[in-house]
Each structure stands twice: as C-alpha cells, then as structure tokens.
C-alpha cells in the first residue's frame, strides 16, 4: 500500500538532510533499513503507538535549538569504577575517553570498523525483528544513518563498568548513535549511559545475551531542559540469561524511550524499569514490548513518573505470550504521582496471551500526594516541602530497587534528591 503523500513528503524531507554512510560491512543493513523506512514512513500522531506523543520535532528535517545546561554538579557515575567512553554531540572524543582495552571485553567503534566484523550478524538484525508487529520507524532511521557507536563483545566478566558519556555542546546538534552488544555464554557486564547527547538525540542499542549470560544496563538521561531524545533498546535473550535495564530521566522537553525484549531461551529473566521527574514543558514516553517465546521465563516492567506544572507522562507496555511459552511470569506496573491538577499521565497496558499455564498481571495508577501520610510527617516537625520530597523518593523506590548495584542506586537517589531540592528552592 502506498504511503499517504504527507507522510511520504515528511520522510523524504528528513532523509534529504542526512547522508547514508557508504561502504564497509554495515552497508547492506543500512540499505535494507532505508528501504524499510521508506516503505513504512516516519511516524505521525495518527499511528496507534504515537497517539499520546507528537513526533513532529523528532522527524523534522532540522532539530529545534536546545541550549546546553550549565551546571557545576559532579557528573553522575563519576564515583563508579568504570571505563569511560565520551561522545560530544554524537562525535567520539578520544581525548576525554579512556583506552578502550579492558580484560573480558572487546570494544570497537562503529565508525572505524570497515572490515568484516562479528557485529555483522547483529547490526540491524534485532532492530528488524523488533519492527513486528509494531513499526518503529525511528529505529530503522537509526540503523540506516548512525554515524558512530560502540561494538561491545563481552567474553568474560570485566572488572569495571563500561560508561558511555554523552555530552551536549552545540544548540543545533543532531546525533545518531548505534551500539551493538554481544554477551557470550556465562559472561557478565554492566553498561552505564549518561548525559543529554545532543539537541536532538537518536540512539539504538541491540543486545544479544547468550545462554547463561548477564547484562546490567543503567541509564541517566541528561538534565538539559530543551533536549529531545528517541532511544531504542532491542534485546534477545538465550536460555538462563539475564537482562536488567533501568532509566532515570529528569528534564528534557521530549523523551521517547522504547524497549523491545524477546525471550528465545528457557528460564531467562528480563527486568526493565524507569523513573522520571518532570516539571513544566516535559513530555516523557516509555513504550515497552516484551515477547515470551520460551518456557519458564520472567519479565518485569516497573515504571514510576513524578509530574508537576503541566508535565505529561506516557506509558505503553505490552506482554505477548506466544503458544508454548508455558510457565511465563509477566509483571507490569506503571504509576504516576501528580503534584498538581495540571499534569497528565496516559497509560496503555496490554496483555496478549496464547498459553494457559502463565502468571501475568498489569496495573496502572495515578494520584497525588497522600494527605494522611503528609499530615503524619508534618505532625512530627517535617516541613511540607521536605515531607513531599521524602514521599516522592519513597514513591520511585520500587523502580530504583530494580538496579542490582547498591552504589549506583544511592548515586541515582542522591541526584533525585538534588533535583527536588532545586525545585523546592
């Protein structure tokens, strides 16, 4: 079926502003992604999974200007033992990055990998699989036009976390990065991501975790007020593997985080969680799709949003249990704390089950500060502002506790406390 003319025009206008990288082992995947993108077209507000989030500024030929936030706050994760890899407006910074050598892992850059590479079997493959049954055009755009990224092959258990740091300097930067992560059988690693990245940032991470492998992923999205971001994580899990991902978001005028997880091996575990803090011109969308296609697998989706001054939060989460995926344990919860009557939380939880021996549940709630609990704290001498902050921290605790590493948990909570204190001040 031919695309509507308006969608076709918008797609071609966006493509005209980009250059398809030529040559190398990625070229077939890039050309395939371009063909798929032209066939599906870029998203519009009429699309089912975009009806709560206007994609206009994410698909425009040029990004809206976004000033970089000036802050003297110590960058998050600086206290962690890590291998630091820095991108400034989507461009790798060798001067600010550590040496990419680390025992138990091989790290290459997408932009420098011209010869046949192990990532050829994965680049664009998981993204393509994730296009069914829901089209994800911005992910196809990423596969086609990503200018750089990391190819991370985890062969053992690295002693340090791998920290991807994204810095934003130019008000009109438009960065597209694509990462591929392969975790071998029995291997284990932690990947940290932080920073705003660019005025407009499109990232994609394809993750394959082999039998018995483990990957922890923790992301803190930058505090720049005017930034826009569309992120994608596609994960495929083997037998007895584990994948856990958590994202903390504060500020940003528009953020769309998509996570697509596929269970292909029995007895695997996948947890995806997030917490966001929004104030004023803030629109935050978490869209998750989990497919159970193996026996005795566990998935958890835990999302908490704190919104005020007209901020908008969106959650769209689906659990699909295919025939034969018996003994599936699927859990999904999305909740919002609305600190005024102007903010809005829009939720679309879904279960689609074709097996009969499963335990799947979903729930979604939205409400304000509990006045009885607030009275209890104030009666014991806690000022109202501090009491509200304490209750906010308690509200997001279930999501933060999905992080395995206690020190990272504490680091993220301290950042939330600082954000609340600035808003209270």
Q: Report the pLDDT value the prediction gives residue 206, as an integer from 0 to 100.
A: 98
pLDDT of 63 over the 90 cut: yes
CB-based burial, 216-231: b 16+ in 10 Å, e otherwise: bbbbbbbbbbbbbbbb
User: In angstroms, rounded to a whole number, what is the distance separating the alpha carbons of residues 310 and 284?
Assistant: 12
- For residue 133, whether the previous peptide bond is cis, meaning omega lies within 30 degrees of 0, is yes
Mean predicted confidence (pLDDT) in 285-307: 98
114-123 burial by CB neighbour count: b if 16+ within 10 A, else e? eeebebbebb
Residue 326, Cβ density class (10 Å: 0-12 exposed, 13-18 middle, ≥19 buried):
middle
- Percent of the chain exceeding pLDDT 70 equals 100
Q: What is the pLDDT of residues 370-420, one digit of tens each?
A: 888 888 888 888 888 888 889 999 999 999 999 999 999 999 998 888 888
- The predicted-structure confidence for 168-179, as pLDDT tens digits, reads as follows 999 999 999 999
Q: Is there a contact between 177 and 90 (Cβ–Cβ < 8 Å)?
A: yes
225 and 250 Cβ atoms separated by less than 8 Å: no
Report H helices in 41-183: 56-59, 125-129, 137-145
Predicted confidence at residue 140, as pLDDT, reads 98
At 28, is the pLDDT very low, low, confident or very high (cuts 50, 70, 90)? very high
pLDDT of residue 47: 94
Q: Name the band, by pLDDT with cuts 50, 70 and 90, for residue 88.
A: very high
Which residue reads 């130019």 in tokens?
170
Nearest to 284 by CA among 224, 365, 230: 230
Tell me: pLDDT of 142 over 70. yes
- pLDDT tens by residue, 339-380: 989 999 999 999 999 999 999 999 999 999 888 888 888 888
pLDDT bucket at 240, cuts 50 / 70 / 90: very high
Mean pLDDT value across the chain: 95
Give the strand pairing for 105-109 and 150-154: antiparallel
Q: Which two tokens stand for residue 309?
A: 């001054």
What are the φ/ψ torsions at residue 328 (nearest 5 degrees)? Answer: -70, 135
pLDDT at 1: 62
Tens-place pLDDT, residues 210-232: 999 999 999 999 789 999 999 99
User: What ranges do the domains of the chain cover?
Assistant: 1-368
Place of tokens 């939380």: 345
Please give the Cα distance from 150 to 392 (Å, whole number): 36
By DSSP bridging, strand 269-279 and strand 150-154 are unpaired
Give, for 27, the enclosing helix (H) or strand (E): helix 27-40
Query: What distance in Å separates the CA atoms of residue 358 and residue 391, rounded to the nearest whole number?
Result: 34
Could you report the per-residue pLDDT of 181-203, keeping only the tens digit for each?
A: 999 999 999 999 999 999 999 99
Planar angle of CA 280, 286, 287, nearest 5 degrees: 145
pLDDT(115) > 90:
no
Contact 206, 122 (CB under 8 A): yes
Question: Is it the case that residue 68 has pLDDT exceeding 70?
Answer: yes
Query: CA nearest 245: which of 214, 284, 276?
Result: 214
Distance CA 253, CA 306 (A): 15
Q: How big is the CA angle at 231 (ends 229 and 232), to the nearest 5 degrees?
A: 165
Indicate whether 425 pLDDT > 70: no
Q: Which H helix or E strand runs over 364?
A: strand 358-367
pLDDT of residue 312: 97
Contact present, 203 and 177 (Cβ < 8 Å): yes
Kindly tell me if the per-residue pLDDT of 113 is higher than 80: no
- Which SS3 state, helix, strand or coil, does residue 136 take? coil
Interval 19-47 mean pLDDT? 95
List pLDDT tens digits, range 42-56: 999 999 999 999 999
Question: Does residue 293 surpass a pLDDT of 80?
Answer: yes
């Amino acid at each position: 079926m031919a695309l509507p003319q308006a969608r076709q025009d918008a797609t071609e206008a966006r493509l005209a502003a980009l250059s398809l990288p030529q040559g190398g082992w990625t070229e077939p995947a890039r050309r395939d992604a371009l063909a798929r993108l032209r066939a599906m077209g870029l998203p519009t507000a009429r699309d089912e999974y975009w009806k709560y989030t206007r994609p206009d500024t994410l698909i425009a030929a040029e990004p809206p200007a976004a000033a970089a936030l000036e802050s003297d706050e110590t960058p998050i994760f600086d206290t962690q033992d890590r291998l630091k890899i820095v991108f400034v407006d989507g461009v790798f910074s060798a001067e600010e990055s550590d040496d990419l050598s680390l025992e138990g892992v091989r790290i290459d850059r997408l932009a420098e990998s011209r010869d046949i590479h192990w990532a050829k079997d994965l680049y664009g493959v998981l993204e393509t699989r994730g296009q069914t049954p829901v089209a994800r055009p911005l992910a196809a755009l990423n596969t086609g036009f990503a200018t750089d990224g990391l190819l991370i092959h985890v062969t053992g258990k690295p002693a340090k976390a791998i920290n991807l740091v994204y810095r934003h300097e130019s008000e009109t930067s438009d960065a597209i990065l694509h990462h591929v992560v392969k975790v071998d059988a029995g291997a284990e690693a932690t990947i940290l991501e932080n920073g705003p990245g660019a005025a407009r940032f499109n990232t994609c991470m394809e993750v394959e975790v082999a039998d018995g492998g483990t990957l922890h992923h923790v992301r803190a999205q930058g505090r720049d007020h005017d930034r826009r971001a569309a992120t994608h994580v596609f994960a495929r899990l083997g037998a007895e593997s584990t994948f856990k991902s958590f994202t903390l978001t504060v500020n940003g005028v528009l953020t769309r985080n998509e996570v697509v997880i596929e269970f292909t091996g029995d007895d695997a575990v996948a947890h995806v969680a997030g917490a966001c803090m929004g104030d004023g011109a803030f629109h935050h969308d978490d869209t998750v799709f989990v497919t159970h296609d193996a026996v005795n697998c566990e998935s958890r989706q835990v999302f908490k949003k704190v919104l005020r001054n007209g901020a908008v939060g969106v959650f769209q989460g689906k659990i699909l249990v295919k025939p034969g995926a018996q003994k599936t344990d699927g859990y999904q919860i999305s909740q919002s704390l609305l600190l005024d009557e102007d903010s809005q939380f829009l939720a679309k939880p879904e279960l689609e089950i074709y097996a009969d021996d499963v335990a799947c549940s979903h729930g979604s709630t939205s409400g304000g500060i509990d006045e009885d609990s607030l009275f209890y704290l104030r009666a014991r001498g806690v000022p109202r502002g501090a009491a509200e902050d304490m209750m906010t921290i308690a509200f997001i605790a279930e999501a933060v506790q999905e992080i395995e590493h206690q020190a990272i948990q504490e680091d993220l909570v301290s950042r939330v406390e600082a954000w609340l204190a600035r808003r209270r001040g």
